Amino acid sequence: MRQEMTMTLLAGVALIATGVQTVSAETIKVWSRQTDESVGVLRSLTDAFTKKTGIDVEIYNTGTDFEQRLARAAAGRDLPDIVVNDDSALGQMLRMGIIQEVDPSKIEDSDQIVPTAWNSTKSVDGKFYAVPVSAQAFALFVRKDWREKLGLPQPKTWEDLHDLAAAFTHKDPDGNGKDDTFGMTIPGSTVRGYTSWFMSNFIWSTGADFVKPQGGGFKPDLNTEAGAHALGFVRSLFCEGLVQPGAINATTGDALPTFRSGQTGIFLSGPYHISQIDQQPGGDKIEVLPLPAGAGAPAALAEGTSAYIMQGSQHREAAEKFISFFISPEGQEIGMAEGTGHTPLVRLPVNKKLDVNAMRKDARWQTFKEVFDNNGHYVPPVPNWTPIRMLTAEGFNKILSDCNSDIPAELAKIDEQMATELRKQNALTE
C-alpha cells in the first residue's frame, strides 16, 4: 500500500515537472465548420490545450456539409461537446434546441472580450448562448499593380469602384494583349445565402437595412430608395459584364480562384483569405481597402466565429476550460496562425489584450481591424437569421439575374416573405 502511494506521488511530481496539470482523464469532442486548410491550426490549439490541462480533444471539421452532419448528429443524439461555428448560426441552433446557455462568469478571461463581439452571441431573450472566439469584417482586395498600371486612384465612391471594375475589364490590366480579365469577383450563389451575405455590405452602405426594430419586434425594410440603389448598383456590374463569368451561381469557394488566378481584380471578402492571396497572385500585388459608402455612412458586414456548448454534453466543465483557453491570449495567438502559412482560425482577436498591428505587422490586417471597429455591422438580432438570409439571397439573386426586373417591386415581394418568416418567429411588429 505504501509503495502504491509512493508511486502515485512520484507520478504526480513528474506531471507537475513537465508542466501538465491533471484535471481528469476526459476527452471532449470539438466540431468546427472549416476547411482542411485551417484544420492544422485547430490541431495546434487543441494540442496546446491538452498539454496544459491533460484533457484530450477529438476534433472533426468540414467546410461543406457541416449543417447537415450536425442535424444528423442531433437526430442520433450523438452531438459533440463543443461546436465552433459562425455566429450567425446561433438562432438556427437555438431553434433546433441543441445548444446550452452560457454564463460568461464561468468562462475565464471573458471580461477581456471586446463588447461588440459579445453582442453577436446574445439572443433576443437577453441570454448568451455562445462565446465569441474570432471576429472579422469585410473589405476590398484590389490588384494594386493593375490599378497603378492604369493610373487610377483608390476608390473612394461607388462611382470610383464602378470605373475601376470597368477599367480592369476593358483596358488589359495584365498586359497580355487578351480580353480575358474582369473587374469584380462576386459570389452570387444562393447556396448558404451567399447572395445576401455579399449584398448586405452594399445595403448597409446606403443607409438601408433588412429590417428595422419597432415596438419590441421587427418590420421588413428593404423596399426603400436606399435599398433599391444598392441592388441597382451591384446589378449594373452584372449587366455591364464587369464580373467574372458564372458569378450569379458562384460560392466563395468558386469565386476565390478567379481572383487568385488573375481573372479578376477586385474581391470583397474577409481577412481569412490573406494567406492564400499572398501565395497567389502575391502579397506585393494586393492592397486592402474599405468598401466606399454608397449614400449613407461606410459600413461592412461584421461576422465572427463562436464556440457553442452542446446539449447533452457530459463534460461541461472541461468544455468551459477549452473555451477559456481559446479566448486567452495564448489561445488567440495560436489561432491567428501568424507565420504558418495556414488559414487562421482567429481572424481578428476578440481578446482586448492582443494588438493586431503588433502581432501581424501587416497594414492590411490593420485595415480590417479599423473597418471592424469603425464600420462593422452585424446582421439584425432576429431570433433566427438563417431563413431570412436564405430567402433574401433567393430574392437578390433573382434581381441580379434580370437586367430588366422592377427592383422596388421585387424588394416589396422580399419584404412580404420576411414578414411571413418574422411572424413564424413571433418577431413581427404588425
pLDDT in tens, 301-348: 999 999 999 999 999 999 999 999 999 999 999 999 888 878 889 999
Amino acid at 126: G
CA 65 to chain CA centroid, nearest Å: 17
Neighbours of 409 (CB within 10 A): 11
What would the grid cell of residue 375 be? 464600420
CA dihedral 293, 294, 295, 299 (to 10 degrees): -40
- Residue-wise pLDDT tens digits, 191-218: 999 999 999 999 999 999 999 999 889 9
The predicted pLDDT at position 8 comes to: 38
Mean per-residue pLDDT for 62-90? Answer: 92
Q: Is the pLDDT of residue 20 over 50?
A: no
Angstrom CA distances, 350 to 279, 333, 336, 353, 372, stand at 26, 11, 11, 9, 11
Structural domains of the chain, ranges and CATH numbers in brackets: 22-136+303-368 (3.40.190.10), 139-301+380-424 (3.40.190.10)
User: Grid coordinates standing for 172?
Assistant: 488589359
pLDDT tens figures, 131-171 = 999 999 999 999 999 999 999 999 999 999 999 999 999 99
Is the model more confident about 101 or about 39?
101
7-16, 194-203, 420-429: the lowest-pLDDT one: 7-16
Which region among 21-30, 148-157, 214-223, 358-367 has the lowest average model confidence (pLDDT)?
21-30
* pLDDT in the model for residue 315: 97
Angle, nearest 10°, between helix axes 158-170 and 225-239? 10
Burial class (CB in 10 A: 0-12, 13-18, 19+), 149: middle
Find the angle CA(105)-CA(111)-CA(114) to the nearest 5 degrees. 135
Helices and strands counted in the chain (H then E):
17, 12
Q: How do strand 300-309 and strand 376-377 relate by DSSP bridges? A: parallel
- pLDDT bin (cut points 50, 70, 90) of residue 256 is very high
Instruction: Read off the pTM.
Output: 0.83
Reported as a single tens digit per residue, the pLDDT across 84-111 is: 999 989 988 998 999 999 999 999 999 9
What whole-number distance in Å separates Cα of residue 158 and Cα of residue 293?
A: 7
Q: Are 386 and 88 in contact (CB under 8 A)?
A: yes
**Residue 56 grid coordinates:** 484530450
Q: How far apart are CA 300 and CA 292, in angstroms?
A: 9
pLDDT tier at 222, thresholds 50, 70, 90: very high
Cα–Cα distances in angstroms (integers) from residue 45 to residues 71, 269, 275, 316, 426, in the given order:
26, 25, 19, 19, 40
What is the torsional sign of CA 370, 120, 213, 219? positive
For residue 276, is pLDDT > 70? yes
Does 382 score more than 70 pLDDT? yes
Q: What confidence score (pLDDT) does residue 130 get?
A: 97
Show the DSSP H helices in 99-190 as ranges. 115-119, 144-149, 158-170
Confidence (pLDDT) at 1: 40
Residue 63 has pLDDT above 90, yes or no: no
Q: Give the pLDDT score at 2.
A: 37
Query: Cis link prior to 281 (omega < 30° from 0)?
Result: yes
Helix (H, G, I), strand (E, B) or coil at 40: helix
For residues 24 and 165, give the distance between their C-alpha atoms in angstroms, rounded to a whole number. 58
Q: Is the pLDDT of residue 239 over 60?
A: yes
